[in-house]
Amino acid sequence: MKKYSAPLLFFGIAITLLVLLQMSSPRPIDWTENYYAQDKRPYGAKVLVDMLPSLFPKQKVNIPQTSLYKRRKQLKQGNYIFVNKNFFLRRSDLHLLLDLVYKGSNAFIAASSLSRELEDTLDIESKYVWAASDVKINFTDPKMRSSRSFDYTHINYLYGILREDSATSIPPVQLGTVEISDIDIRNKNAGKSKAATNFVAIPWGKGYFFIHTMPQAFSNYNMIHPENVAYIAKAFSYLPEQEVFWEDFYTEDTYASTYVSRTEDGEAGEESYETPTEEDRWDDSKMTPIRKNEEQGESQSMFRFLLSEPPLKWAFYLTLLSLVLFVFFEAKRRQRIVPIIKPLANTTLEFTETIGRLYFQHQDHKNIAEKKITYFLEYIRTRYYLSTHQIDDEFYVSLARKSGYDKEEIILLFRYIQYIQKQGIITEEQLLDLNRRIQNFIK
């Protein structure tokens, strides 16, 4: 076993080095978008949420952890802020929000895409726009507009707002645009720089809906730049002096397609969650948020996880120690050389050839032909699952279809077989001809 000591020792050292490398390597960046208030990842919103008191110095800032419907009796006039990758509310929540804004509240929604019901209600449409990684955004209002556009990176997709032509609704007020290079809107204007609307104000009763289609601008990653903080401050300056509600319950990390059971009087009953169908996934009337662990999306390597759990860590260390002890002690054992046993030779083929030569030397060609025909018919039965009891036209058709052999050639072969069977004595040439025909079919 000495020859195994070096490989085992090398294996143990390699495992140890791999563990140390994994422990010292930096954690990969998690770019998951959730905008959760306490999330420190690039696309979390902790930086912005911590800055809310300074952005709204005269207003009280609230971070409720329940849905609008569940706190419907405590709802009051204020500024309701939603920052999310996709904005989909349960129908009851959406109707409450519409009613709040209609009575004088304001809703600030920063989301890449909106629910169909909200778009239809506000007579707008958010359209997908593919974009390069870097984009520039700015305000259209001369008082807000900066001489230098605000730059944002790691923006791999965008949505723009299109105005719906409707005689019954007030058109939205354009507040900001986004300029994208290498843009492709449904294969139009490819390779050109184009500005799309990304920030609008929509009057609704006594209040406004402020719709922003680039939630990435409100993330931790983009808030580390002072000029981008200035952009957020200007965007929020459109909100009047009212109590602020950061709707953390509807963040992407907590939002999942679920069903909510209800009692007969319409009150929300106990929530029962199940995975919806693909069709239901886009029905916002069936969507409700649930809270996930904020650390759920945090990437962890295999060894880092092992070492983070004390039982697994000790088990891992004991395994390494056992491997080292095996290399230095168990590998020293001597073992008797196992003798090589040659396998028994297969003499079946030699025996068959001997019997064949014996028959051939006795000039019993008819007997050999009968055995050849019997073997051939057995081959057809086992290979093509056809009965050879009755050889007729139906048999020829079935055999030709299953074997791929020409029907006429099959007929000639079996006529020759029948001819041989009727002969009392056959010559050596006839036997060889029969063998050739059968072998041609089998091949």
Could you report the per-residue pLDDT of 196-253, keeping only the tens digit for each?
A: 888 999 999 999 999 998 898 899 988 888 888 999 999 999 999 999 999 998 885 5
317 versus 124: the higher-pLDDT residue is: 124
Give yes or no for a contact between 308 and 300, defined as CB atoms under 8 angstroms apart.
yes
The helix or strand, by DSSP H or E, that contains position 162, with its residue range, turns out to be: strand 157-163
The pair of structure tokens assigned to 354 is 């001997």
Would you call 160 exposed, middle or buried from its count of C-beta atoms within 10 A (0-12, 13-18, 19+)? buried
The pair of structure tokens assigned to 174 is 């354009």
Mean pLDDT for the stretch of residues 370-398: 89
* pLDDT of 307 higher than 90: no
Mean pLDDT for the stretch of residues 153-162: 64
Q: Among 79-83, 163-167, 389-393, whose mean pLDDT is lowest? A: 163-167
- Band of the pLDDT at 426, cuts 50, 70, 90? confident
- Band of the pLDDT at 126, cuts 50, 70, 90? confident
- Portions of the chain given CATH number 3.40.50: 46-289
360 versus 60: the higher-pLDDT residue is: 60
Task: Name the pTM for this structure.
Answer: 0.54
- Band of the pLDDT at 102, cuts 50, 70, 90? very high
Mean pLDDT for the stretch of residues 138-149: 84
Domain made up of 46-289: CATH architecture: 3-Layer(aba) Sandwich (3.40)
Q: Report how far residue 293's alpha carbon sits from residue 274's, in angstroms, rounded to the nearest whole number.
A: 18
- The percentage of residues in the chain with a pLDDT greater than 90, rounded to a whole number, is 25
Helix ranges, 296-406 (H)? 302-308, 310-328, 348-361, 365-384, 393-403
Give yes or no for a contact between 112 and 157, defined as CB atoms under 8 angstroms apart.
yes
- Band of the pLDDT at 261, cuts 50, 70, 90? very low
Give the residue from 216, 214, 223, 219 showing the smallest Cα distance to 196. Answer: 214
281 versus 162: the higher-pLDDT residue is: 162
C-alpha 21, offset from chain centre: 29
pLDDT recorded at residue 294: 36
